[in-house]
Chains A and B, each alone.
Chain A
Amino acid sequence: MSEPRVITYRQALQETIRAELERDENVFVMGEEIGVFEGSYKITAGLLKDFGPKRIVDTPISEEGFVGAAVGAAMLGLRPIVEIMTLNFSLIAIDQIVNHAAKIYGMFGGQSSVPMVIRTPGGGGQQLAATHSQNLEVWYAHIPGMKVVAPSTPADAKALLTAAIRDDDPVLFLENLALYNRKGEVPDGELVAEIGRAAVVKAGTDLTLVSYSRGMVTALEVANAFDEEGISIEVVDLRSLRPLDRETFCDSVRKTSRAVIFEDDMLSYGVGAEIAATIGEGAFDYLDAPVRRVAAAEVPLPYAKPLELAALPDADDLTRVIRETLDASGFRK
């Protein structure tokens, strides 16, 4: 592999889709406003011009229809990459995702796989109000038969999207508006991740901080700030919510004895709940303090800026909870 380049998350997605379209003619892209309009967030910019309307398919506003059509096309061996404009609109297609994409392989005795990718950005923080700001990835992560990946860096975006497109199962590929302009080093050439592997992106000894997707930006910022105080935080990027790499964060907690989970989603029944329970089962004897979750307030997200800010978890909230967790275990550096 040659020298890594520094590119944005958006560019990493653009280049990967392009490369996979070139590599495999069964790959095609489908979604609202992805062709002529070049994508609501410009992830598919330029593709229609270069690949034509057979492979870059603009759809009507018919999420249930075109997501379901992707399921059927995948059953015949095509590899659709479906863009749902935002994760919120996946609710209209949820029956096709949960009852069809995720069930067909198992329910029909393994006779037909459903190799499709649903790319979609989730998350709040842009003042889009309650229906347009949700983190529904956990709904899909709940479903056996689905894979759910949520890269936070451009390199992971490339490696996981490549893997998702080549994967024989339906994959929900979670993006985030706030990540599209995030920059990072991305190796040239083939880069394929193993779906279901978390990454320790910062090694540390005093506390394990687990997050994913946009939450990773805040997690790293806070962990780095603690470095300056001589407090060493290990940061785990889940990267995949299903399959979930339980080993990596349990191993980390066995080393640090403390864990905090940071998520943009609401607390109840969330990713943090799953991680905390897993730590309770897999690393209980090693814990020096209760596992804590930092998540959004459980309200329909309001439009008004001060309310939105109060509802969403931020670096201050995370910093406070990390300190409380350290204090609860009598930690002194």
Chain B
Amino acid sequence: MAEPKRREKANPQTGAQPRSRTKPASGANQAPEDSPDTLRGYYEQMVLVREFELKAGEMYARAKIGGYCHLNLGEEATVVGLMAALQPQDYLFTSYRDHGYAIVRGMEPRRVMAELFGRTDGVVGGRGGSMHMFDSELRMLGGYGIVGGQLPPATGAALAIAYRSEPAPDAEAVMCILGDGATNIGAFHESLNLAGLWKLPIVYVIVNNQLGMGTSVDRASAEPDLYKRGAAYRIPGERVNGDDPIVVRDAALAALERARVERQPMILETLSYRLRGHSVVDPAKYRHPDDVEEAKQNDPVPAFRARLAEQGVLDDAAEEQLHKDVEQTVAEAVDFADASPLPSEEELFEFSYATEVANMPNAYPGEPVMAR
């Protein structure tokens, strides 16, 4: 294996420093109206995502979870900020790195865990697993495992909104989450062009965690300033610090507003760092130890905690209580998932079609089709 290189700090082409963290001064972008409860609420959600994901990793190691399992570790501030901006009437599409979004959008952690366990109480009955959270009532229209696969459908959801409603401050909009690596797939560019051309109410959020599996952004994207990639489609873009939930929320609110009111599709790039491997089975040896160390220093969860403590919003007792509550929620999620029944074989042919399909060979392996 080649020696891991340190990740580059400047774009060699432009000399810009886009990938380094732009750390706003403490609370700089914070809207004055954020109440202590709101801030504590965000923090609690961040801790919940953190603890849930750590537990998911543990359950994978214990073979309770199978398949692929990608965690939002290091993206807690981004997840919470984005979901704080997304309104109930909005639609959400994500990639396979979707547990955090599912939970903060409102799915019960225990049902998300049950999905990871492949149980009947999972959010899609155990059919999808880690990569495929979905809840139509919450308008979370899916985590998608094919890189970039969510982009055209998300764009189409925005088409449906434009088709049946008028722009308004409370109009519906779509938020489509994708990774930095996904900006290199054709579907990204085709979707952007359609959205730009048809003036669709959608915000494409590029969660730049600086890696697509083992490939850093500058090794994959000719324009590593990803927020600029909408320029060819006249889609404005902005890059914000993804380690700060308030900054992310406010940027997302502004982008969503333009989508709702002006029908202007938008790009929002959030910059964070993936704290672990690409999926739970990836030891991520290709990362330079200094980068890993730096990422630990910049960990968004303790950073937000320190900020709240500094502002006198969160004292040690409150912090302790909050952790206890989260731990209990996560422990209950595991118990619930463990107790939830496995789907039974008899359900295999359910959900293949939304309609009755008479000529389908509804046969188990080895059963003769013609006998039915």
In contact, B182 and A92 (Cβ under 8 angstroms): no
Residue-wise, chain B 324-360 has the 8 Å CB interface mask toward A (1 for contact) of 0000000000000000001111011101100000001
Interface set, chain A 48-72, CB cutoff 8 A to B? 48-49, 58, 60-65
A307 sits at the interface (CB 8 A):
yes
Which of A3-11, A142-150, A237-245, A312-320 is the interface stretch? Answer: A312-320
State A313–B349 Cα separation when bound (angstroms).
15
Interface residue from B2, B363, B366 paired with A48 (Cβ < 8 Å): B2
- Chain A residues lying within 8 Å of B128, measured Cβ to Cβ, are 129-130, 303
Instruction: Decide if B233 is an interface residue (CB 8 Å cutoff).
Output: no
Contact with B along A292-333 (1 / 0, CB 8 A): 101111111011111100111110011011000000000000
Closest to A264 in B: B365
Would you call A61 and B126 a contact (CB within 8 A)?
no
Quote the shortest CB–CB distance from A51 to chain B (angstroms): 12
What number of residue pairs across chains A and B have CB atoms under 8 A from each other? 154
For A126, A303, A317, A318, the residue with the greatest tally of chain B CB atoms inside 10 Å of its CB is: A303
B111, chain A: closest CB distance, angstroms: 14
Name which of A13-21, A33-41, A183-191, A194-202 contacts chain B: A33-41
A234 within 8 A of B: no
Question: CA A131 – CA B67 in complex, angstroms?
Answer: 12
Assess the A36–B66 pair: CB atoms within 8 A.
no
Bound-state CA distance A46–B1 (Å) is 6
In the bound assembly, the distance between CA atoms of A32 and B362 in angstroms comes to 37
Please name all residues of chain B whose beta carbon is closer than 8 Å to the beta carbon of A26 when the two chains form the complex: none
Q: Do residues A36 and B347 form an inter-chain contact, with CB atoms below 8 A?
A: no
Contact between A302 and B361, CB atoms less than 8 A apart: no
Q: Does B369 make an interface contact (CB < 8 A)?
A: yes
Is B146 in the interface zone, CB < 8 Å from A? yes
Contacts of A63 in B (CB 8 A): 185
Q: Which of B148, B182, B214 contacts A37 (CB 8 A)?
A: B214
A314: chain B residues within 8 A (beta carbon): 365
Complex-state Cα separation, A179 to B125, whole angstroms: 30
B275-312 CB mask vs A (1 if < 8 Å, else 0) is 00000000000100000000000000000000000000
For residue B213, CB closer than 8 A to chain A, the reply is yes
A73-112 with Cβ < 8 A to chain B: 88-89, 91-92
Contact B366 A131 (CB under 8 A): no
Chain A CB within 8 A of B221 CB: yes
Chain B: residues with Cβ within 8 Å of the partner, total of 53
Task: Report Cα–Cα, A128/B130, bound state, in Å.
Answer: 9
- The SS class assigned to the B binding surface is loop
CB distance from A317 to the nearest CB of B (A): 3
Chain A residues near B1: list those with CB within 8 A: 38, 45-46, 49
Residues on B with C-beta less than 8 A from A62 are: 184-186
On chain A, the residues within 8 Å of B15 by CB distance are none
**Interface: B118 (CB within 8 A):** yes
At the interface, yes or no: A268 with Cβ under 8 Å from chain B?
yes
State A300–B345 Cα separation when bound (angstroms): 14
Cβ A306 vs Cβ B349 within 8 A: no
Which residues in window 114-134 of B have CB below 8 A to A? 118-119, 122, 125-129, 131-132
**Does A132 lie at the interface of the complex (its beta carbon under 8 Å from any beta carbon of B)?**
yes
Asked whether any CB of chain B lies closer than 8 Å to the CB of A267, the reply is: yes
Q: Is the CB of B127 within 8 A of A302?
A: yes
- The answer to whether A302 and B343 touch (CB under 8 A), given A60-B184, A307-B127, is yes
Shortest beta-carbon distance, A45 to chain B, in Å? 8
Given A127-B129, A129-B132, A304-B342, answer yes or no on A61-B349 (Cβ-Cβ < 8 Å). Answer: no
In the docked arrangement, what's the CA distance between A128 and B89, Å? Answer: 31
With A33-B214, A304-B342, A306-B345 as contacts: A296 and B131 at CB distance below 8 Å: no
CB distance from A54 to the nearest CB of B (A): 15
A11–B118 CA distance with the chains assembled, in angstroms: 34
Interchain CA distance A37-B369 in the complex, whole Å: 45
Is there contact, CB below 8 Å, between A321 and B67? no
Q: Is B212 touching A297 in the complex (CB atoms < 8 A)?
A: no
With a 10 A CB-CB cut-off, give which of A49, A128, A320 has the most chain B CB atoms.
A128
Is residue B147 contacting chain A, with contact meaning CB distance below 8 A? yes
A216 to B220, CA, bound (A): 38
CB pair B348–A299 under 8 Å, yes or no, is yes
A207 to chain B: closest CB distance in Å? 15
Contact of A36 with B186 in the complex, beta carbons under 8 Å: no
Q: Which residues of B contact A (CB under 8 A)?
A: 1-2, 66-68, 118-119, 122, 125-129, 131-132, 144-149, 181-182, 184-187, 212-215, 219-221, 286, 342-345, 347-349, 351-352, 360-366, 368-369
What are 29 A-B pairs with beta-carbon distances under 8 A? Answer: A33-B214, A35-B2, A46-B1, A49-B1, A60-B181, A60-B212, A61-B184, A91-B146, A129-B129, A129-B132, A132-B68, A132-B145, A267-B369, A268-B361, A292-B368, A294-B366, A298-B361, A298-B363, A299-B349, A303-B66, A303-B67, A303-B118, A303-B127, A303-B128, A304-B343, A310-B348, A310-B364, A317-B365, A317-B366
Closest 5 CB pairs of A and B: A37-B214, A303-B129, A317-B366, A304-B126, A127-B66
**With A36-B286, A129-B67, A298-B362 given, can you name 19 additional A-B contacts, CB distance below 8 Å?**
A33-B215, A36-B214, A37-B286, A49-B1, A58-B215, A61-B212, A92-B146, A92-B187, A126-B66, A127-B66, A129-B127, A131-B149, A267-B369, A294-B365, A297-B364, A298-B352, A300-B127, A302-B127, A304-B343
